[in-house]
Amino acid sequence: MLKPICLITGATEGIGRATAIGLAAKGFTVVLAARNAAKAEAVVKEIEAITGRCDAEYITADLRSLSEVRALSETFHRRYPRLDVLINNAGIFSAARIVTGDGFEATYQVNYLSQFYLTHLLLDALKHSNQGRIINLSSNAYSAGKFDPGNLQSEKRFSTIASYAASKLLMLMFTVELADRLRNTRVAANAVHPGVVNTHMLKSATGLFKLIAILATPFAVAPEKGAATSIYLASSPDVQGISGKYFTRCKEAAIKTAFNTPKNRELLWNLSMQSLRLAETLGG
């Protein structure tokens, strides 16, 4: 039996690291997509120590750069025959409006657009799997997010909370739309709320988010618990064929936002495709 192959973004700490370790323990070949090679190497060694096997590798890439996302995809295609699970886990808080070298606001690019792009670049590899699975890290913060086509990158006014919440809403809307467009394939896409997790990202929050983080910390769960739903969606036969849903605590949850409409999802899709200068590649 072929070992399933999983690529995880943001895999060197927090939820991503816990997800990588958990899936490697279940017999997956885990590929870490990471900015920092030293941190990635440390996680690879940790996985090898835990499993006793060489079940992990890494590819360096910074999601603030679309060219590095392309290079990540190209390297993956060269090394691996297929992709069974893609976990778009990476995420940032930004205390100020920072524009990347590609001309996009950083939270928007890292939390959403680059992972939208990576997903498209790896669709062929996912279609070579018997049951390809895409797992997108959203958050219940999506419920506070707004879909404003004229302000996707906080051009009008920047707020750390608003930009983060919007990015998680976009990730959720993308997941539902992607699942619909992949309905005639063997590839499923679902979104995850990992819970409030005690991670470096939570601890390093600034501004109003720092106050929220301080208040939330007593209720925050360990990264291993935060990773449980991603691991479940990646590995459980119970969710085979389930697509376009939102999960928390390993259970499907209702999506509660007025922005999640077919019209808005299609508009977001088209705007994202235009930003990336992508041609339609789905179906089949």
Q: Give me the active site residues, please.
A: 164
Residue carrying the six token digits 């990646």? 234
Report the alpha-carbon distance of residue 161 to residue 177 in Å, rounded.
24
Phi first, then psi: give them for residue 246, nearest 5 degrees: -120, 125
Sequence letter at residue 104 = F
Report the alpha-carbon distance of residue 160 to residue 105 in Å, rounded.
12
Report the alpha-carbon distance of residue 227 to residue 131 in Å, rounded.
21
Residue carrying the six token digits 């990015």? 167
Cα–Cα nearest to 170, from 272, 279, 68: 272
Per DSSP, the residues of 46-82 read: HHHHHHSS--EEEEE--TT-HHHHHHHHHHHHHH-S-
Report the alpha-carbon distance of residue 137 to residue 145 in Å, rounded.
15
Helices 160-181 and 114-121: crossing angle in degrees, nearest 10, is 20
**Tokens for 163?**
């930009």
Helices 14-25 and 228-235: crossing angle in degrees, nearest 10, is 40
Cα–Cα nearest to 22, from 232, 249, 195, 242: 232
Report the alpha-carbon distance of residue 97 to residue 230 in Å, rounded.
30
**Tokens for 204?**
């390093």
